[in-house]
Amino acid sequence: MKFGTRAVHAGQTPDPTTGAIMTPIYCTSTYVQEYPAVVKDGYDYSRGKNPTRTALQDNLASLEGGKHGFAFASGLAAITTLLQTLSPGDHVICGNDLYGGSFRLFRRVMEKFGVRFTVIDTTELAHVEAALEETTRLVWVETPTNPLLRITDLAAVAAAAHARGALVGVDNTFASPFLQQPLALGCDIVMHSVTKYLGGHSDVIMGALVCNEDALAEELAFLQMAVGAIPGPMDCFLVLRSTKTLHLRMERHCENARAVAAFLSDHPRVDRVLYPGLPEHPGHELAARQMRDFGGMLSFVMKGSVEDGMAACARTRVFSLAESLGGVESLIEHPPSMTHASIPAEQRRASGLDDGLIRLSVGVEHIDDLLADLDQALTA
Ligand SMILES: *Cc1c(COP(=O)(O)O)cnc(C)c1O
């Protein structure tokens, strides 16, 4: 079935006792057994399995075109659980323009447990090939990246990693499964900060992993239960409600972002715009090949000083000044002082993150109001 149909139906059947069309919120920690250790369908304790979570996990797996889905208490909890499949001495290659919290998790938490990380520019295949070692177990990629919107060739990275026995994990948060399906491009694990486009309404923190490989899925199911970083049934219900409209929201996010990118490109106060949908973007052709559309995120740099840009962020009225992204409402932020402040300034600059960079999460409001708001904020 097509994406929009799976978004509405996958993982969800009418409730067998009443026919309720919506999956119930199973607020239960435990399940009654008829005889010691005779368990219905694996439901013995809700850390291990909960029916509302099962419905959501099946829905998310279907949207990514994968076999197995796992939901977690946050995006970082999902990455942490995946990294717990590794052992001391294992090596991970990751992109140099990652979500700041992923960097912090790698450097300040996982390195203590003896996992080694090499940070490279994954948009250059030669850099990936050169960084692969005997002990490399995982290549971790974001595309488009945050906040520079760089594009990595997922099929090429998967081929290079597989040739050396490493798996490829993709943080697909920026694209959403509607725009990009890494498993179909040969990658092994997809991760989402469900908090963003999948949740879509800025009211839930959640993460997810999706994979095809049965042995890996078994390990992840064990870790999800053994480590316990799970979401509650209420949040699972909210996200099930959200994914039903993912395709509709993404179409409008893309349409609005395309218009905002064109508007900013022509604006006299703007120096440059980073959006993969613009023909001059270095990743444009690759993005056109591996994505359905170019997404709702874009970044730009104003002419003038860093302070001019920061002041413009504080002047918008429809765009809210806030971290996060992917909700129906438009957001504006200044990554160097907000989302990416945890990355050392030298490292930020080395990876091309300008001190004056401004990031937009373009929402689904009317485009006329979005453009008028940006215009008054830039020209004031
Ligand atoms: C927000 C985000 C994360 C972290 O997810 P949380 O749900 O906040 O834990 C990871 N990767 C990307 C690209 C993100 O935007």
- Atom 9 in ligand 1: residue holding the nearest Cα: 75
DSSP string, 223-243: HHHHH--PPPHHHHHHHHHHH
Go through the domains of the chain in sequence order and give each one's CATH number.
3-243 (3.40.640.10), 246-379 (3.90.1150.10)
| Per-residue pLDDT reduced to its tens digit, 176-201 | 999 999 999 999 999 999 999 999 99
Ligand 1 pocket check for 205: Cβ under 6 Å: yes
Query: Residue 267 Cα, ligand 1 centroid: separation in angstroms?
Result: 31
- The pTM (predicted TM-score) of the whole model is 0.96
Tens-place pLDDT, residues 201-235: 999 999 999 999 999 999 999 999 999 999 999 99
> In which band, very low, low, confident or very high, does the pLDDT at 97 lie, cut at 50, 70 and 90?
confident
Token readout for 120 is 């490279």
State residue 339's pLDDT score: 85
Burial of 244 by CB count in 10 Å (0-12 exposed, 13-18 middle, 19+ buried)?
A: middle
Based on the residue annotation, tell me whether 26 is a catalytic residue of this protein.
Answer: no
Residues 6+ apart with CB under 8 A from 372: none
CA-CA distance, 244 to 10, in Å (whole number)? 9
Atom of ligand 1 nearest to the CA of 98: 13
Taking the CA atoms of residue 131, residue 132, residue 133 and residue 136 in that order, the dihedral angle to the nearest 10 degrees is 120
State yes or no: is 197 an active-site residue.
no
- pLDDT at 353 > cutoff 90: no
| Residue nearest (by alpha carbon) to ligand 1 atom 8 | 75
Span from the CA of 257 to the centroid of ligand 1 (angstroms) = 20
The protein residue with its alpha carbon nearest to ligand 1, atom 2, reads 193
**Is 99 an active-site residue?**
yes
Does residue 299 have its Cβ closer than 6 Å to ligand 1?
Answer: no
What whole-number percentage of the chain has pLDDT above 70?
Answer: 100
The single residue of 99, 249, 269, 354 carrying the catalytic annotation is: 99
pLDDT reported for residue 36: 95
Distance 75 CA to ligand 1 centre (A): 5
Backbone angles phi, psi at 364, to 5 degrees: -110, 20
Of ligand 1's listed atoms, the one at least distance from the Cα of 205 is 7
Q: Which two tokens stand for residue 367?
A: 């485009």
| Binding site membership of 138 for ligand 1 (Cβ less than 6 Å) | no
Q: Indicate if ligand 1 lies below 6 Å from the C-beta of 195.
A: yes
What's the average model confidence in pLDDT over 5-25?
95
64 pLDDT higher than 80: yes
Q: Does the annotation mark 45 as catalytic?
A: no
How far is residue 214's CA from residue 216's CA, in Å, rounded to a whole number? 6
- Binned at pLDDT 50, 70 and 90, residue 237 comes out as very high
Q: What is the Å distance from ligand 1's center to 32 Cα? A: 36
AA letter at 171: D
Q: 172 in ligand 1 pocket by Cβ < 6 Å?
A: no
Confidence of residue 272 (pLDDT cuts 50, 70, 90): very high
229 lines ligand 1 (CB under 6 A): no
Does position 342 have pLDDT exceeding 80, yes or no? no
How close is the Cα of 370 to the center of ligand 1, in Å? 25
Judge contact between 143 and 190, C-beta under 8 A.
no
